[in-house]
Amino acid sequence: MASMLSSRLPHLSSKLVFPPSNSGSTVLHFTSKTRFDQSRFKCSAGQTGFFTKLGRLLKEKAKSDVEKLFSGFSKTRDNLAVIDELLLYWNLSDTDRVLDELEEALLVADFGPKITIKIVESLREDIYAGKIKSGSEIKSVLKRSILDLLTSKAPKTELRLGFRKPAVIMIVGVNGGGKTTSLGKLANRLKREGAKILLAAGDTFRAAASDQLEIWAERTGCEIVVAEKEKAKASSVISQAVKRGKEEGFDIVLCDTSGRLHTNYSLMEELVSCKKAVSKIVTGAPNEILLVLDGTTGLNMLPQAREFNEVVGVTGLILTKLDGSARGGCVVSVVDELGIPVKFVGVGEGVDDLQPFNAEEFVNAIFP
């Protein structure tokens, strides 16, 4: 195993530490190029405040990164700019035409027919009842309606990592949605906030997946558990990683899984096996099952999300590639349809461009 990996990753071979061959998996130790001051994060497994503090730090960081979120939704914002033009010279006699065009703009941005009709008809009612008397008031009510929907349907957008170490996060999704990349970016963000992270290369189906995750481990200075033999079971690799995480005092184990179509029932059942294997090692784990969805697919992501949720019980969503799409309204649609919170959004290709989701900042980003 050592010689095989050294030949595959010659530039990393001096950094690899191999455990005894009877361990059933390989743990790669990467030395981070950047040293972070972790003294203020030190705590033992019994100190339950660690994950609370980590969640708060992520939230604070998200607020300071609001400009990234704003720029990431530029295409959706440009698409919706027609609304400002419509409302600038709005008058009561023009209401029906303006609302029809508003409805069209929301549908083009993938808010979905159900939400769009609900919002537009509510605005129409308030306008004719004399509750709304200007174009600026229409926009304010529109923004408030969307914000209320997001915060009432799925208010808990922060990671919920429980009180036992290690917390376990499973990343699931279809092929090509950005699953492994999202995991790497999430590892980077958590590591920078002082968490000790172990990666689990549970995608044993795609040949290059393990290599890709090893590169992310090197970039982030995290350790990684990979399959020791070909065609290893994903549940075996992930359970081995969680065991090591428990024994060696890791804060969080991030588990990659094989990409699969939501219609492939045998592979979907494999996720159930992974979930069961983890729960036998750490009570209450996995703490999060995050579904990665490609934002460029818009409303087409809904059938995927429903199926994954029915099979494994999705606790949160990561919406990727939103910077390359004008269909940011799908964020609202998926929350409304499923009641599952969006926890992170991908708004760029950089390592820091996976942003914790904040409903108010999202609404301000698409309706400035």
Instruction: Tell me what the pLDDT averaged over the chain comes to.
Output: 83
- C-beta pairs of 125-128 under 8 Å, 24+ apart in sequence: 127/92, 127/95, 128/95
Number of residues that make up the chain: 368
What's the confidence (pLDDT) of residue 262?
60
Higher pLDDT, 53 or 151: 151
The answer to whether the peptide bond before residue 166 is cis (omega within 30 degrees of 0) is yes
DSSP assigned state of 110: T
- Between 206-215, 254-263, 328-337, the lowest mean confidence (pLDDT) is in 254-263
pLDDT at 178 over 60: yes
CA distance 331 to 354: 15
pLDDT greater than 70 at residue 6: no
Question: How confident is the model over 106-157, as pLDDT tens digits?
Answer: 999 999 999 999 999 999 999 999 999 999 999 999 999 999 999 998 888 8
Q: Which residues of 129-139 are buried (b: 16+ CB within 10 A; e: fewer)?
A: eeebeebebbb
* pLDDT tens per residue across span 10-41: 433 333 333 443 444 555 544 443 333 333 33
pLDDT at 350: 84
Amino acid at 209: A
Cβ neighbors of 34 (< 8 A, separation 6 or more) are 221
Q: How confident is the model at residue 186 (pLDDT cuts 50, 70, 90)?
A: very high
**Could you tell me the pLDDT band of residue 96, with boundaries at 50, 70 and 90?**
very high
Strand partners, 355: 345
Q: How confident is the model at residue 344 (pLDDT cuts 50, 70, 90)?
A: very high
Neighbours of 323 (CB within 10 A): 22
- Using 50, 70 and 90 to split pLDDT, how confident is the model at 65? low
Higher-confidence residue of 286 and 230: namely 286
CA within 13 Å, CB half, 20: 2
Mean pLDDT of the 30-53 span: 45
- Tell me which H or E stretch contains 17: none
Q: Which residue has the tokens 């917390």?
A: 167
Report yes or no on whether pTM surpasses 0.85: no
**pLDDT bracket for residue 52 (50, 70, 90):** confident
User: Would you put residue 164 in left (φ > 0), alpha (ψ -120 to 50) or beta?
Assistant: beta
Confidence bin at 43 (pLDDT 50/70/90): very low
Q: Work out the average pLDDT over 273-296.
A: 94
Least confident of 56-65, 230-239, 336-345, 358-367: 56-65
Question: What is the mean predicted confidence (pLDDT) over 212-236?
Answer: 91
* 85 CB-near residues (< 8 Å, 6+ apart): none
